Amino acid sequence: MTDEAQRVLVTGVDTMLGAAVNRYFSGRGAVTAGTTASVDHADGAAVRSAVTRAADAMGRIDALVVAHGLPHVAPVTGRPMAEFWRHVDVTLTGSFLYAQAVAACMRDAGTGGRIVLTTSRWHIGGPSLAAVAAAAGGIVALTKTLTRDFGPFGVGVNAVAVGGVDSEWSICDAAAGVSGEASPVGRSGTVDQAAGVIGLLCRRDLGAAVGQIVNLDGGLSRNRV
């Protein structure tokens, strides 16, 4: 199946990354549907309804890109737990809920497909990034697990860990005292570059290239996830 034939659901088309991903696929002739903050990404019924509407509108879903997450930076002391858990629920629980609902659509249709989750490179931890690290670390583990759950019915799952990219998530790099200029490439990346990587991971002909976390941060990361 070519990019032009794809039907792609992108969550968070009202974020810089989600909008770039939507542009990427639309510019290549794909049919797209998107969700925004008008959907409660942490509510199972709301997510299932959004996925059903997208599948009905497009006829099927070939790929899901989860890009609705937004950063939450705050000192660890005195942090309201409601804020902590809201970030974790929207980003981590939301990623699971969308993946679960879309994978069920792909399974029932017998088509298989691809899922790309997005997360922060700060799953490695950083100052004032407790909520971000908790959610991002969960998404790393979730990617590995969903690959095993969904693989038997032809759904491949990968994730992209973003950092050093000019987007809403730049405040995480700033909190950790890291700038794009400090990366080996010497500059910040763009959300359009990130969208290109995500588009590649949505290709079915990648076959067994699943269960991987692709660090997209200008070479800043040296971990082995």
pLDDT at 207: 87
pLDDT at 163: 83
Mean pLDDT per 10-residue run, the chain (225 residues)? 70 97 96 97 98 97 96 83 94 98 96 95 81 93 96 95 84 72 66 95 91 81 58
Q: Domain coordinates of the chain in residue numbers?
A: 3-216
Please count the CA atoms within 13 angstroms of the CA of 62 that sit on its side-chain side: 20
Per residue, the 3-state secondary structure of the chain, as one string, reads CCHHHCEEEEECCCCHHHHHHHHHHHCCCCEEEEECCCCCCCCHHHHHHHHHHHHHHHCCCCEEEECCCCCCCCCCCCCCHHHHHHHHHHHHHHHHHHHHHHHHHHHHHCCCEEEEEEEEHHHHCCCCCHHHHHHHHHHHHHHHHHHHHHHHHCEEEEEEEECCECCCCHHHHHHCCCCHHHCCCCCCECHHHHHHHHHHHCCHHHCCCCCCEEEECCCCCCCCC
Residue matched to tokens 């088309």: 13
**Contact of 160 with 24, CB cutoff 8 Å:** no
pLDDT at 60: 96
CATH superfamily name and code, 3-216: NAD(P)-binding Rossmann-like Domain (3.40.50.720)
pLDDT at 77: 82
pLDDT at 1: 40
pTM: 0.91
